[in-house]
């Protein structure tokens, strides 16, 4: 991955940025990061909180899985995280390294190691991610402004129709609909048509 692409990952808002974690490399073969231990990373006894290590395992595994998934037109979501805390750390620089265990069509498993200044192993974990084309297809439609899913409130048989994407739509409402719908070329079959309708959507 190019430096520009890594910079875009590091610019994304959220937990990773708030924790000061910097992604160094991201490829289908490995993902690396580092961060300086600060007070915000500590638990009550003054050592790095185990949740930070879990979060790093989740982050690196997810980025690695995404590097494999996106060229295939897939999106990924983490489904399992198993992290062992091996050594207590109070300060210094920590570095994370993730490598793939499996890169299957539907699931990805990545092993992650977190080491300290002297290369001592601090934590080790494994993240499992699930890959899906369903939400990826919906996201592509939404991003292009072509269409968004719209459920007909008057329908009782679970059918739905497509309508032009509206600027009044929110990302949350569209993702909620995409997760409840099975997209086909021209129609959407919704499992929960009524619950998936944001109130602000105009009727087509």
pLDDT over 90 at 49, yes or no: yes
DSSP 70-108: GGGT-EEEEEEEEEEE-S---SSEEEEEEEEEEE-SSEE
Average pLDDT value for residue range 125-141: 73
Task: Let me know if residue 202 belongs to a domain.
Answer: no
Are 121 and 157 part of one and the same domain? no
Out of 80, 103, 131, a domain closes at 131
Out of 18, 58, 80, 119, the active site residue is 58
Residue 134: what pLDDT?
60
Over residues 16-46, the pLDDT tens digits come to 999 999 999 999 999 999 999 999 999 999 9
Residue 157 sits in which domain range?
135-190
pTM for this entry: 0.66
Among 15-19, 70-74, 78-82, 149-153, name the one with the lowest average pLDDT. 149-153
Are 56 and 73 part of one and the same domain? yes
The three-point CA angle 141-142-147 to 5° equals 65
Number of compact structural domains in the chain? 2
Which of 50 and 134 is assigned the larger pLDDT?
A: 50
Check if 58 is active-site.
yes
């Amino acid at each position: 991955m190019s430096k520009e692409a890594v910079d875009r990952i590091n610019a994304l808002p959220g937990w990773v940025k708030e924790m000061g974690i910097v992604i160094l490399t991201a490829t289908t073969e490995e993902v690396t990061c580092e961060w300086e231990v600060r007070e915000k990373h500590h638990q009550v006894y003054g050592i790095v909180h185990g949740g930070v290590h879990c979060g790093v395992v989740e982050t690196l595994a997810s980025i690695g899985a995404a590097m494999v998934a996106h060229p295939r037109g897939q999106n990924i979501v983490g489904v399992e995280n198993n992290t062992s805390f091996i050594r207590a750390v109070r300060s210094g620089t920590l570095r994370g390294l993730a490598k793939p265990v499996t890169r299957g069509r539907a699931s990805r498993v990545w092993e992650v190691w977190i080491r300290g200044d002297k290369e001592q192993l601090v934590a080790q974990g494994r993240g499992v991610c699930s890959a899906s084309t369903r939400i990826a297809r919906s996201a592509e439609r939404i991003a292009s402004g072509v269409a968004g899913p719209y459920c007909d409130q008057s329908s009782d048989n679970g059918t739905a129709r497509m309508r032009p994407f509206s600027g009044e739509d929110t990302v949350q409402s569209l993702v909620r609909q995409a997760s409840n719908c099975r997209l086909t070329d021209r129609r959407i079959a919704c499992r929960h048509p009524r619950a998936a309708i944001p109130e602000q959507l105009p009727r087509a």
